Amino acid sequence: MSADITSSPQRAPRPDWVWHLGVLVFVVVWWLVYQQLIPASEWITALFPIDRHSHTGEAVAFFFYDVPKVMMLLTLIVFAMGVVRSYFSPEKTRALLSGRREGVGNVFSAALGIVTPFCSCSAVPLFIGFVSAGVPLGVTFSFLIAAPMVNEVALILLIGLVGWHVAAIYLIFGLSIAIIAGFIIGKLHLEGWLQDWVRDIHSGANTATVLDEERLSMVDRYRLGIEAVREIFSKVWVWIILGIGMGALIHGYVPQDLMMRVMGAGTWWSVPAAVLMGVPMYTNAAGVIPIVEALLGKGAALGTVLAFMMSVIALSLPEMIILRQVLTLRLIAVFIGVVASGILAVGFLFNVIF
Amino acid sequence: MKSIKVYGPGCKRCETTVEMVKEAAASLGVEAEVEKVTDPKAIAMAGVMSTPGIAIDGKLVHSGGLPDAAKLAGWLQG
């Protein structure tokens, strides 16, 4: 009699093959619907009493194509990543990273940042958990930079809305910034700049409590995937709609020559300005990428747009406030300085190359 | 009487977890004192790396995400 406490009474468990089949059917239906998005959006736009080729027409068509497209991509990929993530946990990642030398450790750490489940609300316990288990400070930072910045939501939205080459650039340079920034912070030996109580835990106290590893079946992993989708949608759908709405406005109304002048490759100050603008903006990949697409479409330079996007996602004020509990202001300043320099470098580099 | 601690800095999922634990204990007739731990230091010392975490009588049983209802019942009865 353990099942009667759930809100909906539990039915007899479905056999595994029903789940496998269900996932397969879902993917096929998804694919079929996805093929129909452009005709559907044109059809909806045609229902409005507006000229398709006017500014408003462009904006409306963009909105009705992009909202369902983004939602569908998110559903599929977040589900898949929810399943993949069930093979990883912060505890396992910590075990893989503890005692690892800097350098190799930073590379490992940034890569694990992509697949380890992470929410900025548990950045503090995670930080302490890493540092107290002997993960070097710089390696911990590589993780903390990569985990929010390089994630499946960002990559898939970039592939879907902007193109796979920009997604690949973002992946490579996002990881590079995480690796190099963590490496530099490690070389600076700033352990003394942690808050006192964190240092105390670091030097002695053990946090050896280890959770018994649960064994998950494939069906459990599907369930975790579904849970991840539910959570993404309950959390980010507002951002997506706002972001796409903004993107649609830019698409329809912002004059191309203005954009070229302000965010074009010839304007050197546009990169630092983009980074500065990004810090107080609190949205996530889902909100910022539709804006990125629209900006690029209007002739903004790739480097400037990448810098803006990385700054919005990697340097967020709320996360700094959370980290303030474990880091001194000096250390936060170094963290921001190092990461911002990396982003600036990426921005300038791309504006020069392209 | 079980002493249950829910570790979390106060995010929405942590609140939900507290409610789930209370409801589960009530419906199973398990006497329990549920305490919410929000201090980051205490959370870290308990070995919780992803919140919310749950400890029953000093033993950590869960960490990261909402607990599964059936498992929660198992911990409470164990």
One of B14, B37, B43, B55 is an active-site residue; which one? B14
At residue A324, φ and ψ (nearest 5 deg) are: -55, -25
> What does the domain layout of chain A look like in residue ranges?
36-202+218-353
Contact A131, A140 (CB under 8 A): yes
- Is the Cβ pair B49, A91 closer than 8 Å? yes
CB nearest B40 (choices: A3, A94, A124): A124
Structural domains of chain B, with CATH: 2-73 (3.40.30.10)
Distance from CA of B12 to the nearest CA of A (A): 10
d(CA A338, CA A139): 14
d(CA A273, CA A269): 6
Tokens of A349: 């580099």
Q: Does A119 touch chain B (CB under 8 A)?
A: yes
For testing contact with chain B, the best of A5, A98, A126 (most B CBs within 10 A) = A5
One of B10, B11, B39, B68 is an active-site residue; which one? B11
Q: What is the pLDDT along chain A (354 residues), one digit of tens a residue?
A: 444 444 444 556 778 889 999 999 999 999 999 988 888 888 888 888 888 888 788 778 877 887 788 788 888 988 998 898 888 888 888 888 887 888 899 999 999 998 887 777 778 888 888 888 888 999 999 999 998 888 888 887 788 778 888 889 999 999 999 999 999 999 998 888 888 877 777 554 444 455 556 678 888 899 889 988 888 788 777 877 788 788 888 877 778 777 777 787 777 888 999 898 888 776 667 778 888 888 888 888 889 999 998 898 888 887 888 888 889 999 999 999 999 999 999 999 988 887
- Is the Cβ pair A129, B47 closer than 8 Å? yes
Q: Would you say the pTM of this structure is higher than 0.90? A: no
A306's CB contacts (< 8 A; 6+ apart) are A166, A169, A170, A173, A346, A347, A350
Query: Does the ipTM surpass 0.85?
Result: no
Alpha helices in chain A (DSSP H): 16-35, 37-47, 55-85, 90-97, 104-115, 123-132, 137-149, 152-157, 164-187, 196-202, 218-253, 256-263, 270-278, 285-297, 302-314, 317-323, 329-353
Distance from CA of A215 to the nearest CA of B (A): 13
d(CA A29, CA A19): 15
